[in-house]
């Protein structure tokens, strides 16, 4: 289970500054190229993406993509019987960061990952970490916020140092993030290397967007907008030879959740989760 708090009550006004510190005023948006951390030269070319003037959609999609990759991380650990040192939830967050962080300059992917990091800041401020049980499976929301930032600044210290400092990360911690990022990525690359496939398996990871309930109308279109989710999943297919086909289902659920269902070989992302990300954004704007 992903474990985001569904409540968005109070958000620091500082978040908007962080969000746009580096990319405010950005006019040209690139394509979502396939994220292949194992061998970038095999990655398919970038797909053109329509003009993404809708910052709200980008915020929701960035957070949704992080959740989806996080759940795929759980699925890979299960399906490939991968060893995990430390908390599995941290490993799944690392997988999501690795897949989302671009190796080369890529403004769209940068913005999606920054949206995901900012999402953790909003969740932390909305839920107050005191409500997160210290014995829980996940790190505290604020720790996941700084964890995402550490991965970003670790991947590109000159590019993201200002962002990390504006978020409150001290310089001495920023200096250690490149090692954290390298180790996290090297671990995943090494574990996935034996499972690479020569040819992409189109059925290995199928994404379906089920018709939403009436109250979730429009969220299915948001989930499919700019084909970001489809491209992100397509980027995974060459990486892993899965023992069985897995389904990724976007659907209406009783709660705002996302989860990996081992018995059903299915990852579910609830449309309500997208609505929750929208609500987080609106709550931030009210401050
Ligand atoms: Zn999880």
pLDDT of residue 26: 26
CA 88 to ligand 1 centroid distance, Å: 7
Total number of domains in the chain: 1
- Pick the residue with more confidence: 28 or 154? 154
CA 156 to ligand 1 centroid distance, Å: 26
CA 28 to ligand 1 centroid distance, Å: 34
> Does residue 179 lie within any of the structural domains?
yes
CA 89 to ligand 1 centroid distance, Å: 5
CA 69 to ligand 1 centroid distance, Å: 10
Report the candidate in 171, 123, 146, 161 with the shortest Cα–Cα distance to residue 12: 123
> Does residue 4 lie within any of the structural domains?
no
pLDDT of residue 140: 83
User: Confidence class of residue 200 from pLDDT cuts 50, 70 and 90?
Assistant: low
> Does residue 140 lie within any of the structural domains?
yes
Report the candidate in 283, 77, 87 with the shortest Cα–Cα distance to residue 192: 77
CA 77 to ligand 1 centroid distance, Å: 11
> Does residue 276 lie within any of the structural domains?
yes
Q: Tell me, yes or no, if the pTM score tops 0.95.
A: no
> Does residue 108 lie within any of the structural domains?
yes
CA angle 192, 161, 154 (to 5 degrees): 15
d(CA 125, CA 11): 5
CA 27 to ligand 1 centroid distance, Å: 35
d(CA 184, CA 186): 6
Q: Is the pLDDT of residue 272 over 60?
A: yes
Lowest mean pLDDT among 32-36, 142-146, 208-212, 235-239: 32-36
| Sheet (strand 205-209) strand order | 205-209, 246-251, 266-270, 258-261
Give me the domain span that covers residue 132: 15-285
Question: Token pair for residue 253?
Answer: 């659920």
CA 6 to ligand 1 centroid distance, Å: 15
Percent of the chain exceeding pLDDT 90 equals: 58
> Does residue 273 lie within any of the structural domains?
yes
CA 4 to ligand 1 centroid distance, Å: 10
CA 3 to ligand 1 centroid distance, Å: 7
Highest mean pLDDT among 3-12, 47-56, 130-139, 144-153: 144-153
d(CA 165, CA 143): 15
Lowest mean pLDDT among 67-71, 120-124, 195-199: 195-199
Q: What is the pLDDT of residues 258-267, one digit of tens each?
A: 999 999 999 9
User: Confidence class of residue 204 from pLDDT cuts 50, 70 and 90?
Assistant: confident
CA 260 to ligand 1 centroid distance, Å: 8
> Does residue 239 lie within any of the structural domains?
yes
Q: Which residue has the tokens 């690795």?
A: 98
Neighbours of 211 (CB within 10 A): 10
CA 136 to ligand 1 centroid distance, Å: 11
pLDDT of residue 176: 98
Q: Is the pLDDT of residue 286 over 90?
A: no
CA 70 to ligand 1 centroid distance, Å: 6
> Does residue 3 lie within any of the structural domains?
no
CA 244 to ligand 1 centroid distance, Å: 21
């Amino acid at each position: 289970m992903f474990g985001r708090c569904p409540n968005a009550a109070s958000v620091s006004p500082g978040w908007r500054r962080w969000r746009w510190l580096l990319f405010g005023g950005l006019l040209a948006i690139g394509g979502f190229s396939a994220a292949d951390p194992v061998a970038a030269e095999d990655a398919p070319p970038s797909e053109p993406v329509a003009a993404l003037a809708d910052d709200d959609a980008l915020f929701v999609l960035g957070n949704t993509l992080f959740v989806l990759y996080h759940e795929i991380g759980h699925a890979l650990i299960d399906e490939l019987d991968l060893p995990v040192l430390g908390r599995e939830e941290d490993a799944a967050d690392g997988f999501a960061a690795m897949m989302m962080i671009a190796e080369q300059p890529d403004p769209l992917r940068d913005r999606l990952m920054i949206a995901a990091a900012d999402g953790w800041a909003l969740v932390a401020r909305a839920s107050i970490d005191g409500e997160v049980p210290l014995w829980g499976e996940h790190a505290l929301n604020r720790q996941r916020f700084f964890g995402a930032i550490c991965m970003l600044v670790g991947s590109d210290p000159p590019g993201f140092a200002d962002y990390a400092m504006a978020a409150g990360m001290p310089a001495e911690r920023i200096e250690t993030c490149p090692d954290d990022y390298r180790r996290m990525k090297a671990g995943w690359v090494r574990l996935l290397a034996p499972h690479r496939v020569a040819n992409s398996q189109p059925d290995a990871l199928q994404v379906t967007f089920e018709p939403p309930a009436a109250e979730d109308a429009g969220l299915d279109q948001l989930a499919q907008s700019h084909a970001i989710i489809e491209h992100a999943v397509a980027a995974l297919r060459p990486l892993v030879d899965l023992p069985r086909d897995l389904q990724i289902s976007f659907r209406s659920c009783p709660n705002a959740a996302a989860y990996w269902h081992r018995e059903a070989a299915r990852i579910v992302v609830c449309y309500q989760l997208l609505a929750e990300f929208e609500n987080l954004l609106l709550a931030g704007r009210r401050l």
